[in-house]
Amino acid sequence: MAEQIISTEFADVMQKSFVDYAMSVITARAVPDVRDGLKPVQRRVLYAMHELGLNFDKPHRKSARIVGDTMGKYHPHGDSSIYEALVVMEQDFKKGMALIDGHGNFGSIEGDSAAAMRYTEARLKKFTQEVYLKDLDKDVINFLPNFDETEREPEVLPVRVPNILVNGADGIAVGMVTSIPPHNLGEVISAVEAFIDNNEIRTEELMERMKGPDFPTGGIVINQNELAEIYEKGCGKIKIRGKIEFEPAKKKTERDKLVITEIPYTLIGSNLGKLLADIAALVETKKTTDIVDILNQSSKEGLRIVLELKKNTDVEKLTNLLYKKTKLEDTFGVNMLVIVDGKPERLGIRDILRHHLDFQIELTSRKYQYLLKKELEKKEIKEGLIRAYDILDLIIEIIRGSRSIKDVKKCLVEGDTSKIQFRKQVSQKAAAKLNFTDAQATAILELRLQKLVGLEIQALEKEYKQILKNIACYTDILENHSSMLRVIKRDLEAIRKEFSLDRKTEILNAQAAVYEEAPIAEQEIVFTMDRFGYAKTMDLSVYERNSETIEQENKYVFRCMNTDRICIFTDTGSMHQIKMLDIPSGKLRDKGQPIDNLGNYSSAGESIVGIFTFSYIREKQLFFATKRGMVKLVDAAEFDVNRKTVLATKLEEQDALVCVSPILEGENEVLLCSHDGYFLRFLLEEVPKKKKSALGVHGIRLGEKDFLEQSCLLKDGQEEFAFRNRMLAVSRVKQAKREEKGSKLRLSV
């Protein structure tokens, strides 16, 4: 067969491929389905455990076995993602209702990772079995082929509560993010019941039932008045605080304590360590002197972070400081993005409940259709057996007079007596009138003799009456919408009664934490940074006594005020700011701290072009020169910003910043020096003033492989300049115009 080459635009192929990939990530990995509130990996883990028979009353099984079954049968995307999903569903400090019961180390609230899957064991919780996996055998959901079409997996699980609200969800897809907080099971069920009673109920009325999020870490939600709007739109910010309790000293030898007993949900994991570091930083930077010691006394019983206080500490002021300056008060961003009919949608609380109710009606309809079908089959069998009891002697005569089961069955179903030998003519006439169904005939033939006693017949009639009642009940549920809603509410009530827990998170309207910082006493200090990037500040008196040593040992040394900030210009065209107050103060022989750790500057990907204090450059203009010979002037006032990192200059591809120089009084010429030894000298007034985001203009014409190595600003009458550790005479470079090639100087001795 000849090859067929299809010509198409590369951009079209890329666009289609990216859209396909993005939709795959959104719908099949990162965003949960509105019906069961589960991502595919979570659904597959639970179903694999169900298939393995890991019920709550059975022994635990190795997590590696669960992960292996899930990956081999349903989710061929790597064991780490599967095990991570299993671990999260076990962690009761992340989920409103944990779905898996684990044995072993499944991580901690402080950020400790779980043990390897070969060490841990797991099984389903009773809640998961009763609420998430019940009725899977009753044809309530659709099954789809797995990835290689050797197994079948459920499209969704028949979850009977709005799991998307109970356990929340978080996920990052391509250009989309979902973030839904967990809620209290009992309150969610109450909200569902209210919605069943009134589909037009307002969000504010629903919030009377479901007051707001209920984080497993507890804490306090402090913007209650804003919750109704957040739940109406499906997005917004929930402000949460940790709980702080004051414990007065019981003995004279003890100290008063502030104890953090609950943290914001956002601090789960490594952020808890950052909270402790932030509290320690408040002490180190002397923003508070009231904390004497910080102790983490957390255990299996719960979180307990103890702050020992000085005597007569203003507890309210310190509490406000902790809320204001640490993550003990944080925001939880809400974005209720879910998959609805295969597409991502952001829903409000009422829409979520509406989709949940539609799903429950579908589940209930399919369940009772299945049960009704089974009861009708039973009814048919029971009717056949009851009828058979009345003509038992005839049936026995038919069986005795036949040569095969096939002949008996044909006689019972069709009245065919041709192959049956009867003792009496009347029996043959009666047999010819038989018209049992195929199922009834099979049941009659399978009937044991012990079932023919009187008591068994009474039990049969009793069962038949119960079957008729069941049929009437199931028919009523399927034909009457109100009856179906009653069944759904009855099931929800049973779930609430057995599984609901007390609320952990307090919800109220609280005033914003107010903390007024004491004014900083201005004083002159000295900033130093050595050639390895270790920076510190020191007292002016220390510098004055050891100025010669300090200047020899450090690359950058300058005097400044402690309220100032340093501006670090790098070859990537960025400017990073660091407050002097954030730089550790040290003694003469203290090493200091790496400058990388103090701001956004990273020595791994950037090189420093210049460091200045902002007070030094504030009123000046800055001269910029790049590797490809671009130059411009920028007012330093443009860098008076609050952000830690800003764009200092725009750069072309393969370009880099070479020089940033503040223009000093008397400097009126520019000298550009290229790598190949070309030097161009022209008036500073030829360089235009631009914005910091501008590219600049050409300063020197460079050869194909040449690049700008250095630039200097010259004062009127200056005789020498430094280049490659040599002093060269300015007179060797004739004054020219900007954008010329310049003069080539012989630099050899």
Catalytic residues: 119
Q: In terms of C-beta density within 10 A (0-12 exposed, 13-18 middle, 19 or more buried), how is residue 260 classed?
A: buried
Which residues make Cβ contacts (< 8 Å) with residue 135, sequence separation at least 6? 158, 363, 367
Give the three-class secondary structure for 580: helix
H helix intervals, 500-576: 540-545, 547-553
* Strand residue runs (E) in 580-707: 593-594, 608-613, 621-626, 630-635, 645-647, 657-662, 667-674, 678-683, 697-698
* Residue type (1 letter), 607: S
Alpha carbons 408 and 420: distance in angstroms, whole number:
8
Structure tokens at 573: 């065209």
Three-state helix/strand/coil letters over 291-331: EEEEEECCECCECCEEEEECCCCCHHHHHHHHHHHCCCEEE
CA dihedral 32, 36, 37, 43 (to 10 degrees): -60
Structure tokens at 448: 């044991």
Complete DSSP assignment for 388-411: HHHTHHHHHHHHHT-SSHHHHHHH
Paired residues of 122 in beta bridges: 61, 102
Structure tokens at 430: 């009666």
* Residue type (1 letter), 419: K
Which residues make Cβ contacts (< 8 Å) with residue 140, sequence separation at least 6? 158, 363, 366, 367, 370
**Among the listed residues 708, 713, 720, the one whose alpha carbon sits nearest the alpha carbon of residue 621:** 713
Complete DSSP assignment for 64-96: HHHHHHHHHHT--S-HHHHHHHHHHHH-TTT-S
**Among the listed residues 183, 196, 207, the one whose alpha carbon sits nearest the alpha carbon of residue 492:** 196
User: What DSSP designation does 497 have?
Assistant: H
How far, CA to CA in Å, does 713 sit from each of 546, 668, 672? Answer: 31, 7, 9
CA dihedral 316, 318, 320, 321 (to 10 degrees): 170
Alpha carbons 214 and 220: distance in angstroms, whole number:
9
Question: Phi/psi zone of residue 711: left (φ > 0), alpha (ψ -120 to 50 degrees), beta?
Answer: beta
Given a contact cutoff of 8 angstroms between Cβ atoms, the answer to whether 584 and 536 are in contact is yes
Element (H, E) at 440: helix 438-445
Give the three-class secondary structure for 39: coil
* Residue type (1 letter), 656: A
Alpha carbons 370 and 237: distance in angstroms, whole number:
45
Alpha carbons 483 and 487: distance in angstroms, whole number:
6
Neighbour count for residue 555 (Cβ, 10 Å): 13
Phi, psi of 655 (to 5 degrees): -100, 160
Structure tokens at 544: 């004055």
